[in-house]
Chains A and B, each alone.
Chain A
Amino acid sequence: MSKNGTHFRPRAGELAPFLILGLMVLTLALLPAFTEYTVRTANVYNIFQNFSSYGLVALALGLTIIVGEFDLSVSSMYLLGGMVAVLTGAESPLLGIAAALGAAILVGVVQGGLIAGFRLNSMPVTLGGFLVVLGITYILGGGKSVLYENFDVGLRLDEPVAQIFSIRSLVALGIFAIAAVVLRYLRVGRDMRAIGGDRRAARVAGVRVDRLLIGVFVVSALGAALPGALLSYSLATASPTNIGFDVLTFSATAALIGGVSLSGGKGGPIGIAAGVLSLSMLQEILAILRSPDYVSSLITGGLLVVVTIVWAPHLLQWFRTTRVTTAVADERTPA
């Protein structure tokens, strides 16, 4: 692409997530002025609960996009994480979490291994993976929802901490902080951006591309399984029902408004966190306004389309050529 484009885009991309976040905060702050409603700490708590349910999936998906890949299987991995945790964690919830994470590592190694080993396009592979993981979730649950008898675990996980947090949201925030530090200060972060930006050059420069790719797909599966497991404990139930791409839509939108570029190599955990927080606030604002569910899917779907178009590689070029053509046409038109 043109030099101008690459100079201009990162700046806009880096600022945009925080502008959107600011806009959401402003909306939330102005809400009492226009409605009867006063925003309470309970609303802030809810926002962080939304964050904990989907944030890590957005982080996981965002990391795969940064390395220039995509993981369609996160939405069924989310369900499998919950199912495995509920089935194996009856006695010890930690054991359930460990089992869910173990399953995730297995899925990640297989998918990442196929993609890196055979140099395959990650879309069809993870689509197949989506079906395989969904099928396993159905089989494990016997095709039905499974109840988690240990209700105390869910209550404990969601118990307010310092009024606005819970163990669940603190876990998510903590992992985001660790990811931000790792990607910023360790070599692996630079290597990831390198293989997302120009894989061949990265390989030549000595980056262990294959190992890193497998690692990213393992992290991606883990990032889907952990919140899935915690949410299942929290709801005291796990369901194999194909929830479609709801989780995927939320996390893809969050990652993209968080400044992750679909052409790879750009973005990071802090931007993704801003993206997730924006969407979580949006959900809460819609809940406060008592908007029906479809408004949320309209806004999320619309945002996703808009962000994708804004990030599209030929958008500027297209506007430039249309403007040039109209200008030429204007010149030709006799005055």
Chain B
Amino acid sequence: MASALGRLGVESNSMRRYDVALGVWIAVLAGVTIYGAATTEGFLTVSNMKAIATAASFVGIIAVGLTVIILSGNLFSLALGQTAAVSAMFFLWALGIGLFPAIVLTLVLGLVIGAVQGFAVGAWGANPIIITIGAAGLLEGTAVWLSHGESIVPPPGETSWEHLAQPVLGLPAPVYVFLVVTVVLAVIMRRTRFGRQIYLLGENRAAARAAALPITLLTVGAFGIASLYTAGAGILIGATSANASLLLTGSYTYDAIAAALVGGNAVTGGRGSIARTAAGALFIAAISDMLLLRGYSTGGQILVRGIIVVVVVVLTNLRERSR
């Protein structure tokens, strides 16, 4: 976060106009949120804060993983919801061989699913959006085929997984997982060669090619991490609902993308951070929660999310352009 702010300070001359616009937008959002928080009954309670943190953690884990794809300049994946649902189904099914092996196998499955998509994108230049739409179809088909269209429940008598959904020190376990995996990924992206190379790849593909960066490997890594994180979220989602089917796909794909975009990551890649996405996920969870408490329908919540996404996309792009 510190380096991102530093960057803002250094380059503010060339982009003052859009910084002002973005600042105004953030101020408006903050104003509305504070007003809403103060006037919505039941919003500023401890139990509601916990609810927001829990809601943000599932989407947040997927969104921070997705951020690596965005930073690498490969837009986003449209197979995340399906990956999460398939991981949840696989995890509950695999519990028969024990909790630890089930977790490891699910994560490996997620990693492989993402790596294969990343290979097609990185090595052959396949369009990431279309590849992931196709992958989503394949995941859905395979899941229905292997599960015979039935939802998966944990093996009878097996209760080890219940810890994954239980509160620890007052907060549900997924919240801690979200925190830890976010910090780990933030460090990887800032401090390791892999992270810096992803930033370079997203910022300037031609330069990355000229510098002989391993573009295929980096892309495989980006999609692999996104899918690995999504599988991790899938495990937690499966453990929380104790019953997994493709219905779990829900709106995780769009929510995760919305969180990353609302956080202000540049869609074209190279600019943004893991922390921004985590903030975006918390913000979207807070807004959705507030709308829910105020009695807005599902439609109203989706509509507001969409409007926020469009405005942020316009403003971030203008700001990036003026650099």
Contacts and interface: CB of A to CB of B under 8 A. Distances in A.
Nearest to A300: B137
Contact of A305 (B138, B297, B313): B138
A235 B138 CA distance: 28
B299 A143 contact: yes
A309 B127 CA distance: 8
B133 A249 contact: yes
A127 B297 contact: no
Interface in B29-71: none
Given A132-B310, A138-B302, A313-B125, A127 B133 contact: no
Contacts of B304: 135
A125 interface: yes
Interface in A281-324: 292-305, 308-309, 311-315, 318
Contact of B127 (A242, A299, A308): A308
Interface in B76-98: 76, 78
Contacts of B130: 252, 256, 262, 304, 308
Nearest to A305: B134
Nearest to B312: A128
A244 interface: yes
A136 interface: yes
A130 interface: yes
A70 interface: yes
Nearest to B301: A135
A245 B133 contact: yes
Q: Is the interface of B mostly helix, strand, loop or mixed?
A: helix
Interface residues of A, number: 59
Interface in A118-149: 118-121, 123-125, 127-143
A108 interface: no
Interface stretch (B105-113, B152-160, B165-173, B249-257): B249-257
Contacts of B137: 249, 297-298, 300-302, 304
A242 B301 CA distance: 14
Contacts of B125: 312-315
A270 to B, nearest CB: 22
A250 to B, nearest CB: 10
A138 B296 CA distance: 11
A295 B149 CA distance: 12
Contact of B300 (A139, A248, A292, A318): A139
A243 B303 CA distance: 17
Contact of A128 (B123, B131, B145, B309): B309
Contact of B299 (A119, A120, A138, A295): A138
Contacts of A301: 133-141
25 contacts: A114-B310, A118-B314, A121-B267, A128-B307, A131-B302, A131-B305, A132-B302, A133-B306, A135-B299, A136-B299, A138-B300, A139-B299, A143-B298, A143-B299, A294-B141, A294-B145, A297-B141, A298-B141, A301-B134, A301-B139, A302-B138, A308-B131, A308-B134, A315-B124, A318-B124
Given A118-B317, A305-B135, A314-B124, 6 more contacts: A114-B314, A123-B129, A127-B258, A131-B254, A301-B135, A305-B138
**Nearest 7 Cβ contacts at the A-B interface:** A301-B137, A138-B299, A135-B303, A131-B306, A298-B141, A304-B134, A132-B306
